[in-house]
Amino acid sequence: MASHKGTIGILTGGGDVPGLNPAIRAVTFRALREGYRVIGIRRGWAGLVDFVPNDKEDNSAHVQVLTEEIVDRAGRTGGTFLHTSRTRPSHLPQALVPPHLRDSYQDEINDVTKDILKNLEFLGIDFLIPIGGDDTLSYGQRLHKEGVNVVAIPKTMDNDVPGTDYCIGFSTCVTRTIELTHALRTSAGSHERFCVIEVFGRYAGYTAMLPTMAGAADRCVIPEHRFDSEHLTELLARDRAHNPSNYAVALVSEGAQMADDFDMSFEGDEKDQYGHRKLGGVGDRVSVQLKEHSAKYNNGARINIVNQRLGYLVRCGDPDAIDSIVPMAYGNMALDLVLSNTSGRLVSLRNGCYDSMPIDVVTGPKKSIDVGKYYNADRLRPRYETFVRQPLFIMTSDM
Annotation marks residue 320 as catalytic = no
Q: Angle at Cα 67 formed by Cα 66 and Cα 71, nearest 5°?
A: 80
How many Cα atoms within 13 Å fall on the side-chain side of residue 67? 2
Q: Give the DSSP letter string of 3-72.
A: --S-EEEEEE-SS--TTHHHHHHHHHHHHHHTT-EEEEETTTHHHHHH----TTS--TTTEEE--HHHHH
Amino acid at 315: R
Question: What are the distances in angstroms from CA 60 to CA 41, 43, 66, 67, 120?
Answer: 10, 12, 12, 15, 15
Say how far residue 370 (Cα) sits from the centre of its chain. Answer: 19
**Cβ atoms 93, 272 nearer than 8 A:** no
How many Cα atoms within 13 Å fall on the side-chain side of residue 39? 25
- Provide the 10 A C-beta neighbour count for residue 385: 9
Rounded distance, CA 301 to CA 246, Å?
Answer: 14
84: Cβ contacts below 8 Å, ≥ 6 apart: 12, 13, 14, 15, 16, 20, 43, 44
Which is catalytic among the residues 158, 165, 239, 323? 158
Q: Helix %, strand %, coil % for the chain, to 5?
A: 35, 20, 45
**Burial class of 4 by CB neighbour count within 10 A (0 to 12, 13 to 18, 19+):** middle
User: Looking only at Cα atoms, what is the longest distance across the chain?
Assistant: 81
Nearest to 59 by CA among 42, 36, 80: 42
Nearest to 84 by CA among 23, 11, 22: 11
Query: What amino acid positions are annotated as catalytic residues?
Result: 158
